[in-house]
Chain A
């Protein structure tokens, strides 16, 4: 799965730590998602979509 998390985070000028605290996860988890090492669970993916105000499929794409 690929994602546009880094790009969306950049558009808001947030650091990984800032995004992590908004989502209630650790900075390492955000880095793992951005680098494609980890695919988030549905609740976390929905949380990310809600935070950026975009549909989930616009952020996460099936490879």
Chain B
């Protein structure tokens, strides 16, 4: 499968398949949907770019590095606000099915969203000329 196809398939899962399945299956939970969304986002992030050179690899690694820090911090903060503490036993109440914590799939979704955002922002910055002549060469 080519990288462009993998990217399109990932986008289709995130934008069409996951929401459609969520709507079609009665009593479908967000946990199941978030697993599909996480898989789609990972397909988008980890597929190769059209020109996959060393700068792309460098930026993807940096983006993943930054995204993990951001998403772990956010997860800890949200879990604290949901529970007013870090008691893992209260994270999920099996009897009532009430979830009081962000799931691992949510963490992956958050990490991938931040990583994709950072990667494309830095790639956009790379394309921007920093000199008034716009990097053009006079012939």
Interface residues in chain A, defined as those with a beta carbon under 8 Å from any beta carbon in chain B: 6, 9-10, 13-16, 20, 24-29, 31-32, 34-35, 37-38, 40-41, 44
Contacts and interface: CB of A to CB of B under 8 A. Distances in A.
Given A25-B51, A26-B53, A41-B54, A34 B135 contact: yes
Nearest to B57: A41
Interface of B: 49, 51, 53-56, 58, 123, 125-131, 135-139
Describe B's contact surface by its main secondary structure.
Answer: loop
Given A13-B139, A16-B135, A35 B56 contact: no
Contacts of A10: 137-138
Contacts, number: 51
B54 A14 contact: no
